[in-house]
Amino acid sequence: MKNSTIRFIIFVLFASCVVIAPQVQSSNTHSVNWGYSGDASPKNWGNLSPKFETCKLGKEQSPINLNDKSASSAKSLEFTYKNTPFKVINNGHAIEVDYKAGSYIEIEGKRYELLQFHFHSPSEHRVKGEAYPMEAHLVHKSQDGQLAVVGVFLKEGQYNPFIETLWANILTHKGERIVRGVTINASALPPQDKSYYHYTGSLTTPPCTEGVEWYVLKQPIEISSQQLAKFKSVYSGNARPVQPLNQRVIETKEF
C-alpha cells in the first residue's frame, strides 16, 4: 500500500471517530444502563451520566437506616385507596403496578395521588441495621409536584391473597401487561397499624432526585415463603444500599 493511501485511511478513521464519538456519547446519556451489579451498580450510578450526579453528590439520599433516636411527629397520614383495574410492568429494575387516578393519601390534609407501587428485595430501608426480605414503595404525587412515598416492609409468614393476584400476572421479562377483568385495591398493602418513620430523602433509583417525603411504616405485612420465592426468582438484589443520614432528623409517629 502506498504511503498516501495509508495516510488517507488513517485520516478517514480519525475523522470518523471525531464525528461518531459525540453521537455515541449523547445516545448513551439518553438511555443510561444502570443496575445493581457490576459496573452499573449503585456505587457507580453517580458516574454513569451527568444526569445522575445527585446519586453521588446529594446529601439527602435514600434509603437510610431507621432507628429509634428520632423526634416525634404529629403529622396525620390518611389513606383513601379505591378499587382499580391495573397494569403490571416489569421495567427491568423492579415489578411495578400502575394505578388509575382517584386514589390518594393525605398528609396534614394535603393530597398526594397514588401513581404506582413497586417492590424491592431485600428491603431498601433498614431498621436498626436489619433488612426485611422485601419492601413495597407506594409512590404518590401532589398537584404541586411533591413526591411522597410510603414504604411497607414484607416479611415471611402467612399467605397473602393480594400478593397472589399480583404475582399471577408477574412478567419474568421486561414488558407490561394490562390485566383485564380483575380489580385490586392497594389498601391491602399498608398494615392496620400505620405507625411510621418519616424523613426527607430521594428516589432510590437514578436520577436519585431529592425532596421526596418518605413515610416508612413500622409494622411489616406477611407473605408466604412460596410467594417470596416467586418474587425472588424474578428479582433479587434490586435494593440500593443505605445512604448517610447526614444532618437529617427521622420523625416517628405512633397511632
β-bridge mates for residue 65, sequence order: 126
Query: Which CB, 83 or 237, lies closer to Zn ion?
Result: 237
Task: Provide, rounded to whole angstroms, the least separation between the CB of residue 120 and Zn ion.
Answer: 5
Query: Which CB, 7 or 155, lies closer to Zn ion?
Result: 155
Please give the residues from 133 up to 172 whose contact with Zn ion meets the rule CB under 5 A.
137
CA angle 97, 226, 93 (to 5 degrees): 35
Query: Which CB, 137 or 198, lies closer to Zn ion?
Result: 137
Residue with CB nearest Zn ion?
137
Q: Which three cell numbers stand for residue 183?
A: 380489580
Task: Provide, rounded to whole angstroms, the least separation between the CB of residue 34 and Zn ion.
Answer: 14
Query: Which CB, 137 or 140, lies closer to Zn ion?
Result: 137
Binding-site size for Zn ion (CB under 5 A) equals 1
Q: Which amino acid is at 224?
A: S
Site string for Zn ion, 98-137 (x = CB under 5 A): ---------------------------------------x
Query: Which CB, 194 or 240, lies closer to Zn ion?
Result: 240
Contact 234, 88 (CB under 8 A): no
CA angle 228, 175, 223 (to 5 degrees): 15
Task: Provide, rounded to whole angstroms, the least separation between the CB of residue 52 and Zn ion.
Answer: 16
Contact 88, 176 (CB under 8 A): yes
Task: Provide, rounded to whole angstroms, the least separation between the CB of residue 207 and Zn ion.
Answer: 14
Distance of CA 79 to the CA centre of its chain: 20
Task: Provide, rounded to whole angstroms, the least separation between the CB of residue 36 and Zn ion.
Answer: 12
240 binds Zn ion (CB under 5 A): no
Task: Provide, rounded to whole angstroms, the least separation between the CB of residue 15 and Zn ion.
Answer: 45
Query: Which CB, 203 or 228, lies closer to Zn ion?
Result: 203
- Give the interface with Zn ion as residue ranges (CB under 5 A): 137
